[in-house]
Amino acid sequence: MVFLALAALPLAGDVGGSQARPFKAKSVAYVTADYGPTYDVDMDGQATDLGNFKGQFLGIQYFPEGPDGPSNVGSGTLTAANGDSVTIHTVDYPYDSDESIGVVHGTYVITGGTGRFLNASGHGSYVAVFDFSYITPPEFTFAGTIVF
């Protein structure tokens, strides 16, 4: 349980001149490779302090999905246009779905980065909405804090 270990990391406060700031992001996601229970995801979005970003994730889907465990666990990097990046780990749970739309609620932990985000930390939650007709890509909305 990598996520449980990550949850014990310090997440907020003033560390060596760093300060907690609100972190908000919106993005769309595209599965670029599917290996069965694991998959690669590319994201395009916009976030506070990052600006426009590209994201690359490796996800793991768990079976069976349901309230007793996560449906997806992911790890990846959000990279700003100038090359600075934030490392983020995610876990989400199914929330609601019907034949056309699926919704998952998740949490994230920021565990570092590069450039101005070196040694960044933070945490928060996100909601993802999936259009099962695949007319539009999944949309993610993140809200929480980042410390850098």
| pLDDT tens digits, one per residue of 10-46 | 444 444 568 999 999 999 999 999 998 999 999 999 9
Q: How many separate domains does the chain show?
A: 1
In this structure, how many other beta carbons lie within 10 angstroms of the beta carbon of residue 89?
21
What CATH number corresponds to the domain at position 123? 2.40.350
- 110 lies in which domain range? 2-147
pTM for the whole structure: 0.82
**Confidence band (pLDDT; 50, 70, 90) for 4?**
very low
Contacts of residue 45, Cβ cutoff 8 Å, sequence gap at least 6: 25, 26, 27, 28, 52, 53, 55, 78, 140
